Amino acid sequence: MTALEWFAWLVLLIVALAAGLAVTLSNGAVTRAIRRLERTYRRQKSLELEQLQAQVVERRMQEVQRELAANEGWRKVLNQVLADALKDTSARVGPVGVLSLTTDPAPAFTVAGEDGREYLFTTAPDVLEQVGWIGRKAPVIPLDASLHPAARAEVQAVWDHLAEQRLRGEVPTLPRQAEWFLVVRERKEQDKPARR
């Protein structure tokens, strides 16, 4: 190859590398612009969803407060939570009602079901497992927005209502965003009503 051919080949190589670099840089810029646009869109949709959910939660909480003001209204609220969490309309609070309500070792209350089961609502299933209230293999169902946007707030409202009625002394204040969980257990024989 002559010097001129080498020079032409070198120029073509430099032009090809420069073109490749330009394409790569522009692809990077386009990718960054698309990511910014996606982030903006996601943020906007998230804010919109939060607003919609806030409205749904606010409406539901007004309904819950009306239901809790009624005699034994807490049962209706918990029946809805149980139906949402267990996907079973036969899961209902039974006539026995509240079996226990405690703040120690963790906030928890247990209600008797109509079907021989009991439903334990708690903010700390891991603590209750450590003290032996819950078995290691007991299914723990989170009561969160995956069930309904207001599920957590509904259980919190029932806790506040029942604690105010049943706990002696000051009712402990739980964090507004406290997580609530449901554990379904078979009722102990001594807790079951006698059969006729």
Instruction: Describe the crossing of helices 3-69 and 151-166 by its angle, rounded to 10 degrees.
Output: 30
CA angle at 83 for the pair 119 and 46, rounded to the nearest 5°? 110
Closest CA relative to residue 160, chosen from 95, 83, 85, 65 = 65
**pLDDT value at residue 183:** 94
pLDDT, tens only, 100-116: 998 888 899 999 998 88
Strands 108-113 and 140-143: unpaired
Radius of gyration of the chain (CA): 29
Confidence band for 195, pLDDT divided at 50, 70 and 90:
very low
Domain positions in the chain: 1-69, 73-191
DSSP-derived 3-state class of residue 180: strand
The stretch 95-102 carries a mean pLDDT of 90
Q: What is the pLDDT of residue 123?
A: 92
Query: Could you read off the pLDDT of 113-169 as tens digits, one per residue?
Result: 988 899 999 999 989 989 989 888 888 999 988 788 888 899 999 999 999 888 877
The helix/strand/coil state of 117 is strand
pLDDT score recorded for residue 193: 46
What is the reported pLDDT for 128? Answer: 92
Phi, psi of 193 (to 5 degrees): -70, 150
Of 26-40, 65-79, 98-112, the least confident: 26-40
Give the residue-averaged pLDDT of 42-48. Answer: 73
